[in-house]
Structures are given as structure tokens and as C-alpha cells.
Amino acid sequence: MSCGKPHETPCTEVLARVYSYLDGEVDDRSYGKIREHLDECAPCLREFGLEEVVKKLVHKSCGHEPVPGELRTKVLTRIAVVRAELEGVELTEITQTTEITAE
């Protein structure tokens, strides 16, 4: 996914870290780079909006129970696999990015 314009932070990196961004789990430098990218890239902003809605819906439906780290990693990996299948991206590339992001 890309708007076709060059960005300092690649679309794949932004989308791989969108849940960490939404959870406030990125450092200030990364937060600024992701925010700047979302301000410049309409396709990523749309994807971010969808992810934000899903996260709010899950939070509303599931209450305030903390999620075990292993479950979070499995869910993020599954989402990445489905996204890769839909976009025709190398599965190993997505899985490695998700594993790094989930740590």
C-alpha cells in the first residue's frame, strides 16, 4: 500500500507498527515519524483509521482484561498473514516485521 510518493518512513513499516502506535507503545521519535507519514499518505491514513476502529470495538467489547503477550503476538501475526495474502506480499517479510514489532 502506498500513495506513490516517497516517504521518510516506508508504508510497510508504518502499517506494521500501527497497533503499537495506537497503544502508545512507540518512542517519541517513532511516534513523530509515523504521525508525519499518516499526515502525508492517504492510503495509510485510511488503513490506520480502520485499525483504530477495530481496536476501539475490541476494547469496548472485551472490557479491561490485560491481554497476554503471547496472544497479542499470535493475533498480530495472523492479521499480518491475512494482509500479506490479500496484498501478495512475501509472507516471511511480514512475519519477521510482526515479530519484531510485537516484542
Dihedral sign computed on CA atoms, order 94, 31, 54, 101? positive
**Number of domains observed in the structure of the chain:** 2
Give the tens place of pLDDT for each residue, 59-76.
777 766 777 889 988 998
Give the tens place of pLDDT for each residue, 14-47.
888 888 888 888 899 888 998 898 888 888 888 8
* 52/72 same-domain check: no
The grid coordinates listed for 98 are 510482526
* 36/2 same-domain check: yes
List Cβ neighbours of 45 (8 Å cut-off, separation of 6 or more): 38, 39
Containing structural domain, residue 11: 1-62
pTM: 0.50
